[in-house]
């Protein structure tokens, strides 16, 4: 698809010109003669719960399978990958500190947001806040990072939208940094693909996404929402889940097979956490078994 090639080319131009701290050994393999993702996508001949999907071979720069990836969707907590990307784009010193107030934590609990159970008014490092943001999908980590940006006279959500535009995201608009539902908070799998491939070029971003458990400086232990799936599939390197009733279940999975790196994105699996219907997990295992085993 010409549009996705155009978008990826734009990403690479930004990366080349950027002085930010990108990893020297990225998850995405580099070659001298390939600087775009080739879209040879087919439809998966599988019965999936997920309405939208994208599977890319990051080592060979190729999109293998996709369906309805331009469709506007609610990203739920996959939003937090963009939150992390924006933080890494703007903050060089991850030892900077920020906190969240008791009132802000109470507001998140009232909204039924997922939280990492950060201590109120404790000065966490930005690095620890990113672990709290991604692993347990902590909205309290997101708000503490918003506070960090506010102290610099910046609005984190505005910067998220600006970065999304610079990456070529055509269907994305963020209202918050947490992924809590809002009718005007939307993206697409193609746009999420652009965001994820950008954040993977940061060493810290890749490390956090590939971490299953982490202990914060204050002793708080946080675990990835992907941990049950990682225990089922040893090929999985990491990733992130998302869920709201409106968005359904979504997931990004990073995994390796035969020394190649892959990214799987699934959206709109309408399972229910309260009924323990983890259909995004079921789809992931189904795809692995069909294509890689």
Q: Where are the domains of the chain?
A: 2-291
Q: What would the two tokens of residue 82 be? A: 């963009």
Q: Could you give the count of Cα atoms lying within 13 Å of 291 in the half-sphere of its Cβ?
A: 22
Please list the pLDDT of the chain residue by residue as tens digits (293 residues).
444 444 444 444 333 333 334 344 445 543 333 345 677 788 999 999 999 999 999 998 899 999 999 999 999 999 999 999 999 999 999 999 999 999 999 999 999 999 999 999 999 999 999 999 999 999 999 999 999 999 999 999 999 999 999 999 999 999 999 999 999 999 999 999 999 999 999 999 999 999 999 999 999 999 999 999 988 888 899 999 999 999 999 999 999 998 899 999 999 998 877 788 899 999 999 999 999 87
126-134 and 139-151 helices cross at what angle (nearest 10)? 150
Distance separating alpha carbons of residues 57 and 64, to the nearest angstrom? 7
Q: Give DSSP secondary structure letters for 49-81.
A: S-SEEEEEETTTTEEEEEESTTS-B--GGGHHH
**First vs last C-alpha separation in the chain:** 28
Rounded to whole angstroms, the Cα distance separating 55 from 152 reads 38
Q: How many other CB atoms are there within 10 angstroms of residue 153's CB atom? A: 6
Closest CA to 218 of 77, 124, 112: 124
Checking 168-175 for CB contacts under 8 A at 24+ apart, the result is 168/6, 168/7, 168/10, 168/11, 168/194, 169/7, 169/194, 169/195, 170/3, 170/7, 171/70, 171/72, 174/79, 174/82
Do residues 144 and 100 lie in contact, with contact meaning Cβ atoms separated by under 8 Å? yes
Q: Distance between CA 134 and CA 125 in Å, rounded?
A: 14
Give the CATH fold of the 2-291 domain.
Beta-lactamase (3.40.710)
Query: What is the reported pTM?
Result: 0.87
């Amino acid at each position: 698809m010409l549009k996705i090639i155009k978008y990826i080319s734009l990403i690479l131009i930004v990366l080349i010109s950027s002085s930010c701290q990108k990893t020297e050994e990225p998850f995405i393999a580099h070659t001298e003669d390939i600087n775009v993702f080739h879209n040879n996508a087919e439809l998966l001949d599988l019965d999936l719960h997920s309405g939208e999907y994208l599977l890319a071979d990051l080592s060979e720069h190729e999109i293998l399978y996709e369906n309805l990836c331009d469709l506007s969707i609610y990203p739920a907590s996959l939003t937090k990958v963009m939150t992390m990307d924006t933080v890494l784009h703007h903050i060089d010193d991850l030892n900077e500190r920020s906190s969240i107030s008791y009132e802000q934590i109470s507001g998140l609990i009232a909204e039924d947001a997922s939280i990492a159970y950060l201590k109120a008014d404790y000065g966490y490092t930005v690095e620890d806040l990113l672990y709290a943001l991604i692993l347990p999908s902590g909205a309290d980590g997101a708000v503490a990072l918003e506070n960090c940006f506010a102290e610099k006279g910046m609005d984190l959500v505005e910067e998220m939208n600006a970065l999304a535009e610079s990456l070529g995201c055509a269907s994305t608009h963020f209202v918050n940094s947490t992924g809590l539902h809002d009718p005007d908070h939307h993206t697409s799998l193609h746009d999420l693909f652009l965001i994820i491939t950008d954040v993977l070029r940061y060493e810290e971003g890749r490390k956090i996404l590939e971490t299953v458990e982490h202990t914060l400086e204050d002793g708080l232990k946080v675990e990835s929402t992907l941990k049950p799936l990682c225990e089922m599939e040893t090929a999985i390197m990491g990733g992130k889940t998302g869920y709201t009733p409106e968005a359904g279940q979504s997931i990004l999975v990073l995994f390796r097979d035969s020394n190649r790196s892959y990214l799987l994105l699934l959206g709109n699996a309408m399972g229910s956490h309260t009924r323990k219907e983890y259909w995004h997990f079921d789809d992931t295992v189904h795809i692995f078994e069909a294509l890689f085993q």
